[in-house]
Structure 1
Amino acid sequence: MPNTQEFEVVIIGGGPAGAATALTLARADRQILLVDKSDGSVFKVGEGLPPNAKPLLRDLGVMERFNRDRHLPSYGNVSAWGTPTLHSTDFIFNPHGHGWHLDRLRFDQMLREAASKAGTEVREETRMVKFVQVNGGGWQLTLEEKGKQAQVYCQWLVDCTGRASRVARNLGVKKSSEDQLLGFVTLFRIPDTALQSDRDSMTLIESTSQGWWYTALLPSERRVVVYFTDTDLETSKLARSVEGYTSLLDQTQHIYARLATYGYTLEGTPKVASANSSRLETFVGDDWLAVGDAALSFDPLSSQGITTALYSGLKAGEALQAHLSGDSDPLALYGENLSTIYDSYLHNRTVFYSYERRWLQSKFWQRRRLGN
Structure 2
Amino acid sequence: MKSEQHGVAKIVVLGGGPAGGATALGLKKLGYQVTIITQPRPFKAVEGISERVLEGLRNAGFQQALANLPAASPRMASWNGETNSANTERLINRSELDRGIGLDLQAAGVTVIDGRVDRVNSNDDGYAISVKTDADADAAAQLITADFLVEARGRSAPGAGLERLRGSETVSLLQYWQGVPCQPQSAAESFQDGWAWMAAWSDGTRYLQLTFDVASANLPDKSQLIDHCNRILRTLPSAEPFLDRAEPSGIIHARTSTPILCREAVGDNWIRVGDAAMAVDPLSGNGIFQALSSALQAPAVINTLLQQPERAALAKQFYQQRVDHLFYRFARIGRDFYASEERWDNPFWVTRRHWPDSEPLHQETDPASLKIETLPVVSNGLITAQEVVTTNDQPLGIWHLNGLEMAPVVRALQQRAADENPQDCLQQALGLNPQTAAGLTRWLYQNRWLATE
Q: Which residue of 2 aligns with 1:335?
A: 320
Residue among 183, 203, 206 paired with 1:223: 206
Return the offset for 1:228.
0.3
Deviation string, structure 1 residues 264-287 (Cα, Å, up to 9, x no partner): 211231110001111111111121
Counterpart check, 1:138 vs 2:138: no
Q: Which residue of 1 aligns with 2:116?
A: 126
Return the offset for 1:107.
0.3
Return the offset for 1:351.
0.9
Counterpart check, 1:90 vs 2:90: no
14-23 or 142-151: bigger deviation: 142-151
Q: Which residue of 1 aligns with 2:353?
A: 369
Count of matched residue positions in the alignment of Structure 1 and Structure 2: 341
Return the offset for 1:45.
3.2
Q: Which residue of 1 aligns with 2:374?
A: none
Instruction: Write the letter of the residue equivalent to 1:249.
Output: L
Residue among 213, 217, 220 paired with 1:237: 220
Q: Which residue of 1 aligns with 2:169?
A: 180
Residue among 145, 149, 152 paired with 1:157: 149
Q: Which residue of 2 aligns with 1:280?
A: 262
Deviation string, structure 1 residues 59-83 (Cα, Å, up to 9, x no partner): 23224x34432x3333453211111
CA contact (8 A) 1:126 1:143 kept: yes
Return the offset for 1:245.
1.6
Question: Which 5+ residue runs of structure 2 have no aligned equivalent?
Answer: 1-7, 357-453
Deviation string, structure 1 residues 285-327 (Cα, Å, up to 9, x no partner): 1211101111111111111111222232222123323443436
Deviation string, structure 1 residues 243-274 (Cα, Å, up to 9, x no partner): 2221121222221x2224x4121123111000
Alpha-carbon distance between aligned partners in 2 of 1:356 and 1:141, rounded to the nearest angstrom: 46
Deviation string, structure 1 residues 13-65 (Cα, Å, up to 9, x no partner): 122211211122123221111112x2x363343512211123322223224x3
Counterpart check, 1:61 vs 2:44: no
Instruction: Write the letter of the residue equivalent to 1:52.
Output: R
Matches within 5 A, 1:166-177: 166=158, 169-170=159-160, 172-177=161-166
CA contact (8 A) 1:163 1:293 kept: yes
CA contact (8 A) 2:25 2:61 kept: no
Counterpart check, 1:49 vs 2:49: yes
Q: 1:173 to 1:215 in 2, by over 3 A?
A: same
CA contact (8 A) 1:49 1:100 kept: yes
Alpha-carbon distance between aligned partners in 2 of 1:82 and 1:330, rounded to the nearest angstrom: 44
SS at structure 2 position matched to 1:286: coil
Q: Which residue of 1 aligns with 2:427?
A: none
Q: 1:270 to 1:222 in 2, by over 3 A?
A: same
Alpha-carbon distance between aligned partners in 1 of 2:343 and 2:9, rounded to the nearest angstrom: 55
Alpha-carbon distance between aligned partners in 1 of 2:201 and 2:228, rounded to the nearest angstrom: 24
TM-score (norm 2): 0.70
Q: Which residue of 2 aligns with 1:15?
A: 17
Deviation string, structure 1 residues 167-186 (Cα, Å, up to 9, x no partner): xx13x112221111100001
Instruction: Write the letter of the residue equivalent to 2:350.
Output: Q
298-307 or 140-149: bigger deviation: 140-149
Instruction: Write the letter of the residue equivalent to 1:210.
Output: D
CA contact (8 A) 2:46 2:93 kept: no
Deviation string, structure 1 residues 63-120 (Cα, Å, up to 9, x no partner): 4x34432x3333453211111x3113425xxxxxxx4111111101111221122111
Instruction: Write the letter of the residue equivalent to 2:122.
Output: V
SS at structure 2 position matched to 1:112: helix
Return the offset for 1:241.
2.3
Larger radius of gyration: 2
Q: 1:217 to 1:235 in 2, by over 3 A?
A: farther
Q: Which residue of 2 aligns with 1:301?
A: 283
CA contact (8 A) 2:22 2:61 kept: no
CA contact (8 A) 2:65 2:104 kept: no
Alpha-carbon distance between aligned partners in 1 of 2:59 and 2:307, rounded to the nearest angstrom: 21
Alpha-carbon distance between aligned partners in 2 of 1:32 and 1:44, rounded to the nearest angstrom: 28
Alpha-carbon distance between aligned partners in 2 of 1:206 and 1:358, rounded to the nearest angstrom: 13
Q: Which residue of 1 aligns with 2:382?
A: none
CA contact (8 A) 1:175 1:279 kept: yes
Counterpart check, 1:33 vs 2:35: yes
Higher relative contact order (CA 8 A, sep 6+): 1
For the aligned residue pairs, the C-alpha RMSD in angstroms reads: 2.3
Instruction: Write the letter of the residue equivalent to 1:217.
Output: A
Q: 1:22 to 1:67 in 2, by over 3 A?
A: closer
Q: Which residue of 1 aligns with 2:249?
A: 267
Residue among 197, 202, 205 paired with 1:214: 197
Q: 1:309 to 1:234 in 2, by over 3 A?
A: closer
Q: 1:216 to 1:259 in 2, by over 3 A?
A: closer
Structure 1 residue ranges (4+ consecutive) displaced by more than 6 angstroms after TM superposition? none
Instruction: Write the letter of the residue equivalent to 1:125.
Output: G
TM-score (norm 1): 0.84
Return the offset for 1:330.
4.3
CA contact (8 A) 1:12 1:128 kept: no
Among all aligned residue pairs of Structure 1 and Structure 2, give the percentage whose two residues are the same amino acid: 21
Deviation string, structure 1 residues 138-186 (Cα, Å, up to 9, x no partner): 22333333442233322211111211231xx13x112221111100001
